[in-house]
Copies of this chain bind each other. A is one copy, B any other.
Amino acid sequence: MLQRRICILTDGYLDLFSAKTAVGLLRYCPDEVVAVLDQAHAGEKLETLVGVGAGVPIVNSVASALCYRPDHLVLGAVFPGGRLPEAWRTFIVEALAAGMDVVSGLHTRLGDDCELARQAAEGGRRLWDVRAGEAATTVGTGKARQTRAKRILTVGTDCNLGKRLTAIELAGELARRGLRVAFVPTGQTGVMIKGSGVVIDAVVADFVSGTAEEAVLEHGDEDYVVVEGQGALLHPSYSAVALGLLHGVLPDALILCHAPTRRHMRNTDIAMPSLDENVRLHEALLRPIHPARVVGIALNGYGMGERELHEVLSQARVRTGLTVADPVRTGVADLADAVIAG
C-alpha cells in the first residue's frame, strides 16, 4: 500500500465519541497521520484529548496543515445521520485547492455535491466516498456457516465503545500466535484503515446479511475471520445493522463489548441493559440458525483509574462467568485464549 500523508479534519468534534474515525486512524495508521485540523484545540496535545496521537500537531487551518505536506484530507468525525456540516465544506474546498484528495465516510456523498465533484475533477483530485461502494444486491442465505475459518464477531451493548478496536486487536493477537487471520472491517473507519471493504450500514436493508456473508466467505479458507461488529441489538437507531450483520456472519464465537460507565445507550434516554441480558439475546438470535456463545467481554475502561478498572473487570467476570478484559489497558491475550478454546 502507498504511504499516505493524512490530515484529519475534526473541527468542532474532537472528542472520543464523535471523532471515532480520527482516533482509529491515529491508533492504527500512526505513521500516516501528519496533522489534525481543529480550530478549538489548535496547539493542544492529542494524547491528552483523546488518548492517542502523541506527536501529531493540531492545526487551525488548511494553510497551517500544509507545513506538514498532507496529500489526503480525511473527514475524521461522524454525526447522527451522517450528514456533512456546512462549515466543513470550506475546509474541503481549500484542501482540494491545495492538491489533496478528500476521504469521507459520511452518508452524504461528497461526489454528489456538483461543485466539489467539478473542483476535484478539474484539479485531478479524488473524492473517496467510503460509504459509496458498489451497490450490494446479495440476499443472505446462511451459507457463512460453511467456512473452514472460525468466524468471530465483536458485538456491543451500545454504539461506539470498542467493537472495531477489539476486532483489530484480536486479529493481531491471533496472527502473532501463528494463525492465519483475516480482519473484516464493516464501518467507515475500519474500511479507511484497511483500505478496502464495505461500509455495511450504507447497504440497502434487504442486503445487509448477504453483504456480510460475502465478505466472510471471501476469507473462508483462513483459520480465523474476525469481523468488526456494528450498532447494538437493543439500540433503536442501529439495531437493524447489528442483526443483519449477526445473521450474515453467523459467528462461531462472539466477544461482547461494553462501556461500564455508560448509564444510557448513546443519544437515547434508554437505560443500558445488563451484560447478561445482552449475552442471552445475542445467543437467542443465533440459536435456531447456528448456535454460538459469547465467549468473552471486552470492557472499555477509558478514564478509569487502575483500581476501579480492576474492580470492574473482576465484577464482570463474577457476574457473567466469562473471560473479561480491557483490550487497551489489559490486552486481548485472554480473549484470544477464550476464542481459541470456545
Q: Which residues of A contact B (CB under 8 A)?
A: 80-83, 107, 137-142, 200-206, 208-210, 233-244, 246-248, 250, 267-271, 273, 277, 280-281, 284-285, 287-289
Residues of B within 8 A of A247 (CB): 235-237, 239-240
A208 and B270 in contact, given A139-B81, A233-B285 (Cβ under 8 angstroms): no
Q: How many identical chains are in the complex?
A: 2
Let me know if B206 and A236 touch, CB within 8 A: no
Please tell me which one of the listed residues B81, B142, B244, B267 contacts residue A205 in the complex, with CB atoms under 8 A apart.
B244
With A206-B238, A210-B237 known, 20 other A-B pairs at CB within 8 A are A81-B206, A107-B204, A141-B268, A201-B206, A202-B205, A204-B204, A205-B241, A209-B239, A233-B285, A234-B285, A235-B247, A236-B247, A239-B244, A239-B246, A240-B240, A240-B244, A242-B243, A273-B287, A277-B288, A280-B284
Closest to A265 in B: B288
Cβ of B205 and Cβ of A141 under 8 Å apart?
A: no
Across-interface contacts of A107 in B (CB, < 8 A): 137, 204, 206
26 contacts between A and B (CB under 8 A): A81-B137, A81-B138, A81-B206, A83-B137, A107-B206, A139-B237, A140-B236, A141-B236, A142-B270, A200-B205, A201-B204, A204-B204, A205-B205, A205-B208, A205-B244, A208-B240, A209-B236, A235-B247, A237-B247, A239-B243, A239-B246, A239-B247, A240-B243, A270-B289, A277-B288, A280-B284
- A134 and B142 CA atoms in complex are apart in Å by 31
Q: With A236-B250, A240-B240, A247-B239 given, is the CB distance from A141 to B204 under 8 Å? A: no
